[in-house]
């Protein structure tokens, strides 16, 4: 990135499964903002997964590495699925999403959970439980059991096989993600719930001690509570309104954020942002992606919900591009499209018309035009 330029560079990587399909729609929406709102970005598309592997022998080819290296933000689709059996495990590991998170030190994963009233009839939880739900899960993303060593599978002397992984955290790894949670809470309701398993795990004992110490030293103006992870899972589906900002470790955050999808209507609705440290120029490397996976069972059918990817773009507008008004505009347009009855199969009520992936993109773009037009009229 040329630090003298005011342009932001965005790499668009659809990946595998439904990734290219949903990312194509968020790409369309980003282009709308470039043309109609003057958002200062240059876009570069790049490939990831089985297609480049068959051509180059790498799931992450050099062109894609270059695109992501120079990018301020990466708009990511999805990775994985049965079709990737054609890719050897070593090649897959070398270019895995975990390795990218580690390479760019994308340690803070933000996952907003917002219940849209228009989806009350199709949501798996009762409408009264979902009313007013609006919280954020911040998951530590580059440490914990997914990265700890030693790990592996071994054969014991008696012939049994044993798998083992290492859960570990350091003071700095805990404090920097907790700081992200406290800072975000200051812009919201000033409430942080730290989730751990301190009654069983030493890493959680350390986690709680370090969060408490950071709170006392720097964030006494923010309310801090603690919750064991099993209780947190229950509370997310029992009374999700109680939460504002939740911060937790890697594996707990992975599980809880998928559980929290039930408080938003569908996993296909959930966006996310993964942010690295601030560089000397005040910018942070960031990867934006829908929380859903590659969903190979519906890949290529054109029926996947692109709203998780489109709402991830809204997070990019707010967190990397510093365009909060445009982020609000996009979120308002998505809400308007849903209120008007736009539904993909995963969020459709019984008997409701079901839009294709591209048609949902059309609905959001039409809503953008309408909402932006109203804003001009009232200005």
Give the whole-angstrom CA distance, residue 68 versus residue 191. 35
Phi, psi of 38 (to 5 degrees): 70, 30
Phi, psi of 306 (to 5 degrees): -90, 0
- DSSP class of 14: E
Catalytic machinery residues: 146, 197, 230, 254, 258
* Torsion on CA atoms 250, 255, 261, 262, rounded to nearest 10: -150
Give the whole-angstrom CA distance, residue 227 versus residue 284. 30
Distance set, CA 369 to CA 36, 37, 252, 334, 347 (Å): 9, 11, 40, 12, 23
Give the whole-angstrom CA distance, residue 34 versus residue 49. 28
Question: Under a CB-based contact definition with an 8 Å cutoff, are residues 109 and 266 in contact?
Answer: no
Q: Provide CB contacts within 8 A for 157, sequence distance 6+.
A: none
Question: Under a CB-based contact definition with an 8 Å cutoff, are residues 110 and 138 in contact?
Answer: yes
- DSSP class of 349: P
Phi, psi of 288 (to 5 degrees): -115, 130
**Can you spell out the DSSP letters for 238-279?**
H-GGG-SEEEE-HHHHHHHHHHGGGGTS-GGG-EEEEEEEE-
Give the whole-angstrom CA distance, residue 53 versus residue 295. 20
Max CA-CA distance within the chain?
A: 78
Task: Give me the sign of the Cα torsion angle 108, 184, 181, 176.
Answer: positive
Give the whole-angstrom CA distance, residue 327 versus residue 312. 10
Question: Under a CB-based contact definition with an 8 Å cutoff, are residues 276 and 107 in contact?
Answer: yes
């Amino acid at each position: 990135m040329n630090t003298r330029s005011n342009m932001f560079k965005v790499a668009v990587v659809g990946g595998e499964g439904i990734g290219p399909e949903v990312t194509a729609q968020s790409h369309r929406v980003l282009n709308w903002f470039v043309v109609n709102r003057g958002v200062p970005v240059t876009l570069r598309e790049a490939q990831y997964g089985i297609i480049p592997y068959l051509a180059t022998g790498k799931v992450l080819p050099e062109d894609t590495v270059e695109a992501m290296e120079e990018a301020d933000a990466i708009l990511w689709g999805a990775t994985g699925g049965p079709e990737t059996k054609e890719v050897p495990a070593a090649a897959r590991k070398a270019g895995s999403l975990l390795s990218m998170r580690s390479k760019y030190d994308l340690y803070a994963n933000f996952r907003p959970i917002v219940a849209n009233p228009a989806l009350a009839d199709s949501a798996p939880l009762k409408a009264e439980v979902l009313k007013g739900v609006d919280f954020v899960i911040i998951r530590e993303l580059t440490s914990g059991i997914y990265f700890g060593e030693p790990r592996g599978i071994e054969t014991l002397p008696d012939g049994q096989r044993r798998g083992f992984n290492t859960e570990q955290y350091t003071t700095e790894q805990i404090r920097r993600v907790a700081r992200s949670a406290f800072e975000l809470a200051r812009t919201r309701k000033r409430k942080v719930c730290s989730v751990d398993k301190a009654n069983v795990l030493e890493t959680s004992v350390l986690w709680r001690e370090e969060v408490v110490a950071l709170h006392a030293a720097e964030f006494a103006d923010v309310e801090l509570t603690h919750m064991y992870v099993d209780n947190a899972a229950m509370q997310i589906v029992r009374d999700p309104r109680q939460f504002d900002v939740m911060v937790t470790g890697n594996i707990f955050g992975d599980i809880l954020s998928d559980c929290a999808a039930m408080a938003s209507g569908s996993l296909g609705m959930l966006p996310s942002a993964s942010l690295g440290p601030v560089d000397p120029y005040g910018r942070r490397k960031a990867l934006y992606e829908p929380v859903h996976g590659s969903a190979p069972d519906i890949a290529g059918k054109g029926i996947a919900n692109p709203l998780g990817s489109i709402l991830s773009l809204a997070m990019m507008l707010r967190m990397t591009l510093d365009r909060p008004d445009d982020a609000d505009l996009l979120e308002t347009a998505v809400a308007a499209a849903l209120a008007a009855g736009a539904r993909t199969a995963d969020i459709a009520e019984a008997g409701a018309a079901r839009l294709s992936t591209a048609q949902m993109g059309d609905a959001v773009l039409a809503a953008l035009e309408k909402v932006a037009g109203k804003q001009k009229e009232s200005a």
